[in-house]
Amino acid sequence: MKVETTRFGTIEIDEGKVLNFVKGILGFPNDLRYALLPHKENSPFFWLQSLDSPDLAFVVINPSLIVSDYSFELPEEAERELRLEEGDKAEALVIVTFRNRQNGDARSMSANLLGPVVINVDKRLARQVVLDPNKYPVRYEFN
């Protein structure tokens, strides 16, 4: 299928590759279909492009590339919603935010380790999960 996006123009997405969010990313309840697009060859970053709003896209990264021991127990509620069963592969991605540093022009990047996006890779289902705020920061600077 063809999808209009602000950033990438018209893109062609295989329908089987669409990520269906069982609940919208917090703050974006009406955007339920996304495509995961590699940023560039050999880049660790991906774009999570909404297929419902052309101008909505998030930069995401595999959290284990930032924090090697990042792990969490998936709440059972999320496990049910994502219909994760024996043999299904689950994957987590974290959303990146850019900020201007006060000194100089290099921008800081932080990852939201508190609210990872968890994907049932086999069933193409996803949702943002809320973890324990005592254990995971919402802004983890990594550059």
Partner 1 sequence: MLIFTRKEGQKIRIGDDIEITILDVKKGSVKIGIRAPRGLAIHREEVYQKILQENLSAARSVLNGQGTLDDTVIRLKAHEAPRKKE
Q: Which residues bind partner 1 (CB under 8 A)?
A: 25-28, 39-40, 43-45, 56-59, 62, 64-68, 70-71, 73-79, 84, 89-92, 95-99, 106-107, 109, 112, 114-115, 121, 128, 130, 133, 138-139, 142-143
Nearer to partner 1, 1 or 83 (CB): 83
* Helix ranges restricted to H, the chain: 76-81
| Cα(119)–Cα(50) distance, integer angstroms | 15
Instruction: In whole angstroms, give the CA distance from residue 64 to residue 98.
Output: 19
CB of 14 to partner 1, least distance (A): 20
CA 139 to chain centre: 15
Closest CA to 116 of 88, 142, 78, 83: 78
- Nearer residue to partner 1 within complex by CB, 1 or 121: 121
Give the nearest distance from C-beta 103 to partner 1 in angstroms. 16
**Cβ atoms 3, 15 nearer than 8 A:** no
Quote the least distance from Cβ 39 to partner 1, whole Å: 6
| Closer CB to partner 1, 17 or 64, in the complex | 64
**In this complex, which beta carbon is closest to partner 1, that of residue 4 or of residue 77?**
77
Cβ of residue 73: shortest distance to partner 1, in angstroms?
6
Q: How far is the CB of 55 from partner 1 (least distance, A)?
A: 9
In the structure encoding, which two tokens stand for residue 4, read together?
Answer: 């209009």
Residue 134 to residue 65: CA distance in whole angstroms: 22
